[in-house]
Amino acid sequence: MIRKKLKKISKNDKLRTFLHQYKIPKEYLSTNRAMVSKGILIGLFIAFIPMPMQMLAVIAMMPFFKFNVPIGIAMCWLSNPFTMPPMYYLEYLTGSMILGNKIAPVEMTLDWFSTNIDDIFIPLYFGTLIFSIVGSLSGYWLVNHFWKSSVKKDRKLHRDERKL
């Protein structure tokens, strides 16, 4: 369903004139399986990293990888002000547990973070690395899997309709 909707949007005349007017390569808005799944991979990878301006990091990946940029940017919205504290706390807990570090009681104040940044930095980013890799690869695999199964289902329906 979403696959067909994306295909319909990409054939819009207004979108094509926008791309031509601003000389944006069509690949960055392409809605095929490879481009969408790469956009999800890159967007989710960046979403799990605790850093400011994640959308700019996704855009910075454009010269190195060809992917659907709007989907990549949308995926980095997974970490928004409501989801950031639990995501980053879970990443910190995971990194501390794997590294065998003592888990410090966390307070949500800038003073606490500024005094304890040395203790939480390495476990946080180690956990971030794990979540970024596992989360982005899982998203990539899921999109590929569901896209392929959607295509197979559509082909089967088409074959069944032709037989009638």
| pLDDT computed for residue 114 by the predictor | 83
The pTM score is 0.83
| pLDDT computed for residue 7 by the predictor | 67
| pLDDT computed for residue 1 by the predictor | 58
| pLDDT computed for residue 144 by the predictor | 94
| pLDDT computed for residue 112 by the predictor | 82
CB atoms within 10 A of CB 80: 10
User: For the chain, which residues score pLDDT lower than 50?
Assistant: none
Q: How far apart are the first and last CA of the chain?
A: 24
| pLDDT computed for residue 103 by the predictor | 83
| pLDDT computed for residue 58 by the predictor | 95
Residue numbers of the domain that contains 133: 2-163
Q: How many folded domains does the chain comprise?
A: 1
Report the candidate in 23, 67, 14, 15 with the shortest Cα–Cα distance to residue 41: 67
The set of long-range contacts for 5-12, using a CB threshold of 8 Å and a minimum separation of 24, is 6/31, 6/36, 7/31
| pLDDT computed for residue 46 by the predictor | 96
| pLDDT computed for residue 127 by the predictor | 95
CA distance readout (Å), 136 to 2, 39, 139, 160: 20, 10, 5, 36
CB atoms within 10 A of CB 128: 20
- Per-residue pLDDT of 55-88, as tens digits, reads 999 999 988 999 999 999 999 998 888 998 899 9
Structural tokens at position 104: 């410090």
